[in-house]
A and B are shown apart, each in its own frame.
Chain A
Amino acid sequence: MTDTWSVAGRTFTSRLIVGTGKYKDFEQNAAAVAASGAQIVTVAVRRVNVSDPNAPMLTDYIDPKKITYLPNTAGCFNADDAIRTLRLAREAGGWDLVKLEVLGEAKTLYPNMRETLEATEVLAKEGFLPMVYCVDDPIAAKQLEDAGAVAIMPLGAPIGSGLGIQNRVTIRLIVEGASVPVLVDAGVGTASDAAVAMELGCDGVLMNTAIAEAKDPIRMARAMKLAVEAGRDAYLAGRMGLRKYADPSSPLAGLI
């Protein structure tokens, strides 16, 4: 049986969402997306370069008809800017599934939760389906869900830090409390981090820098694909219990 997950009525088989920033060029980016098996990519909304309209565009390399573009509000530091960005994104792309992030400060890129909550409410009222970047706080996660978030996306560690999941307990608490998908967004540095997120029961993982800044991004994209699948399988398999002391794997009976 195929393992799938759904967000706002859309079903995907890949639980890995990848960003499209920081790559050497569009070719490498497209190859990494292919190697990752991702069906969703995050994209940013920016001014077109009116002095060079023929500059290559992301859409020329990653086909929005085949890969779901998830417009993201990275770089927005207040609710108004984020909402404005996503209104433009909806017009540019023609879809309502979006990723909201409202940042609090440049140093940590931690979310401003007050503005995030306010923006979630406005977006939900306007018919958007916001997947929301947030702190790893189970209460904040519930508030976002009540406000209309279609997915909760807690950070594992600061964006771009590669520190891995810093608080497994809070991520697990969010998973247990949520009735919408939970995806770790930010902080993954290497494959084992992605596996940890999935072993905690998350529905998926979003990453960018861990792949884009690897020495070999395409190989790391493949590693992340496998790690997400392995972590998901381990979660579904149900891990063994922890013991304080050893327990031999070979029978004790019949020892010579």
Chain B
Amino acid sequence: MGCLAKAKQGGYAVISVILNGEARQVREGSIADLVASLGLDVKKVAVERNRAIVPRSTLADVALAEGDALEIVHFVGGGC
């Protein structure tokens, strides 16, 4: 299914993921690649993939797969 769903866009393989609750087309690659392409500082965020934490140290090793549900979070102001 993954291969069939892949589309070529500008020479790169593009896959569909759910990023922070929204469907999104992203370039195939690692989670670290995605975080960097979003302009985020990898040291300030945490990533969950399909409900499992992806340790920061392994973000570059985990390849995105078609249909992945990703959550990228950070700290914001909050109280009690």
Contacts and interface: CB of A to CB of B under 8 A. Distances in A.
Do they bind each other?
yes
Interface of A: 19-23, 26, 29, 42-48, 50, 53-54, 57-59, 64, 69, 71-72, 74, 84, 87-93, 101, 133, 159-160, 185-186, 206-209, 212
Interface of B: 19-21, 38-40, 44-48, 51, 53-56, 71-80
A209 B79 contact: yes
Contact of B78 (A74, A87, A90, A185): A74
A43 B79 CA distance: 6
A84 B78 CA distance: 17
A244 B19 CA distance: 66
B46 A89 contact: yes
A21 B71 CA distance: 22
Contact of A101 (B46, B76, B80): B80
Nearest to A80: B51
Contact of A29 (B40, B45, B48, B77): B77
Nearest to B78: A44
A29 B77 CA distance: 9
B55 A91 contact: yes
A88 B53 contact: yes
B27 to A, nearest CB: 14
